[in-house]
Structure 1
């Protein structure tokens, strides 16, 4: 776990301390200005390659990541590790061969990867919020004391309606998010065609 944090810290350090950013970063996710890597001396680039590879190997052994101070695995750990692993790969490619064409191509890849990672984290946050709200509704029903079976039946019916509304809202929200993401990807594809 400490090695994963070290890799994340190294990516952030490389992003913020070593590299001069030419674009304003996203509010949530920073990405490296890969063009800044080409100005480093070869010995520094070689050292960075070794450290990034070592950290990436250690990260591959980890099963959990820390989110808001608590360990979590599953989808969020997988997405986080894949994100940092791919960022490391793009950085290594530029460190090994710092030419303009590769840098420009990898900058686009990093921007897309960061956008996808941000989208994945938003989906995860929505899912967690949905689960918590669903559990709150169920707990509220279970914690109430009912005078008779009829009152309990009415409360159960109301709870089921609330859960149904919550499910519909969640599905609508996820659909809207996915539609928005799809539109964004289509815009990017159109931009790529214009750039070529």
Structure 2
């Protein structure tokens, strides 16, 4: 079912979109670059179990080639350029390299959130290079594979099912989602039903 916005809601939404795009324009980066920074923020705001953004993750989310995204993220990490990212080594058993936000990158996200909310806002500290060494080894950290998703129904199917039912995923959902998803286990995997589209999107960004 599609909701019909009121005139007031429509005006507010358009104003928020315009404000967000203005922030991106003033920072002299492309919309694609902004998406990459947002993905990095989504993965590292959970400082207990951070997931630094890797080129492969971002390429998959944006539907771009790995080589193009690798060049993009290196450009965003250039200290003499955008300086929104800085690289970090992967934990033991993890990927070769990932990216976290610099102070400038975190300030950029704060500006986007302020524009979206129509008022100055603060947001939780993301994981940074200086604290990344405190991350626990990746052995035992939950990793999920997305089998399929249905955006209209706010459902995502992932494997392995037992990992989706883990305490780690449940505790994260309690803290970061509006409601915990309803989970049913089928032959295909764990079917997660989310209360909102944004919850489903955030889950995929964080775990898949």
Q: Same fold, TM exceeding 0.5?
A: no
Compute the TM-score of the two structures, normalised by the length of structure 1.
Answer: 0.25
Going by fraction, where is strand more abundant, 1 or 2? 2
Greater Cα radius of gyration, structure 1 or 2: 1
Compute the TM-score of the two structures, normalised by the length of structure 2.
Answer: 0.24
**Which of the pair has the greater relative contact order for Cα pairs under 8 Å at 6+ separation?**
1
